[in-house]
Amino acid sequence: MDKNNLPEFSVLPEHIGIIMDGNGRWAKQRNLPRYKGHIEGAKTFRKIGEFAADIGIKCLTFYAFSTENWKRPQEEVNAIMELFREYLREADERSAENEEKGITLRFIGDKNGIPEDIANLMDHIEKISSDKSKVILNIAINYGGRHEIAQAVRAIAEKVKNGEMNVDDIDENAISEHLYTKGMPDPDLIIRPSGECRLSNFLTYQSAYSELWFSDVLWPDFKEEDLVAALREFERRNRRFGGV
C-alpha cells in the first residue's frame, strides 16, 4: 500500500493483538512442508507491523509462539526458532533504522526453555531499543496467558510473604503491574485470521474488554487491506465497557 496515500480513521485502537495463525495450513494447501508457511508468515509479520506503525497504531503484540507450540513436530519447531534467530539478527543490524522510525521492540513470554543464544539476542535487542518510541512492537514467544497469570500470582505472593505488599493491596492494577505487559494499555482489538474463532491462551487477562475480529484468510495471505477491514469494523463498534 502506498505510504503517501494511507487510509484515515475516525478512531484507532491504541493496542492491537494479532494471532498469526494458518501458516501450516497455507503450506499444506500448496503441498509444501509446514516450515515454508512460517517463512511466508514471517514476511507478512514484517509487512503488517510496518503498515500498522505507519497508520498510527501505538502498540502491537504479535503471537508468534505459544507455550503449547513445543508439542509440534521438531522440524517445525526448529524452523520457527531459526526464523526468529534470523529476525533478531536483522533487528540488531537495523537498530538505527528502527530508532529513526520510533519502533521499540519488546518480547513477552517465558525465556526459560528458549535456546540460550536466542534469549541472549532478545535481551540485547531490548537493551538497545529506544525508550523514546512512537510504536511498541511486542513479540510473544513461549507465551501463554494462564502461565503469565500464574507467574504474576507467584510474584505477588512472594512480595506478601516478604512483607513488601499487604493482601489488601492486591487488586486489578496490582495484577496488571506483574504481567509481561506492565505499563502498556490493554489491547483494544485482537485479530485472528485463519478461520479459528478463539483466543488460544493469548493475552488472557488483558483481553477482558478487547474487541475481537476473525477472518478466514490464512496469515501468509493477510494483507494491509485485511487490517484496514478490521479497523473499519472497529470504528463501527460501540464500546460501552459495561455501561449504557
Kindly list the catalytic residues.
21, 69
Q: Considering only CA atoms, which of 67, 62, 31, 38 is closest in space to residue 48?
A: 62
Residue 52's nearest CA partner among 137, 140, 126, 141 is 137
DSSP-assigned letter for residue 236? H
Q: Report the distance separating Cα 139 and Cα 143, nearest Å.
A: 9
- Phi/psi for 229 (5° steps) reads -60, -40
Query: Secondary structure of the chain: what % helix, strand, coil (to 5)?
Result: 50, 15, 40
Q: How far apart are CA 99 and CA 101, in angstroms?
A: 5
Task: Give the three-class secondary structure for 7.
Answer: coil
State how far the alpha carbon of 148 is from the alpha carbons of 69, 76, 122, in Å: 16, 24, 18
The residue behind cell 505459544 is: 66
Nearest of 76, 83, 91 to residue 130 by alpha carbon: 91
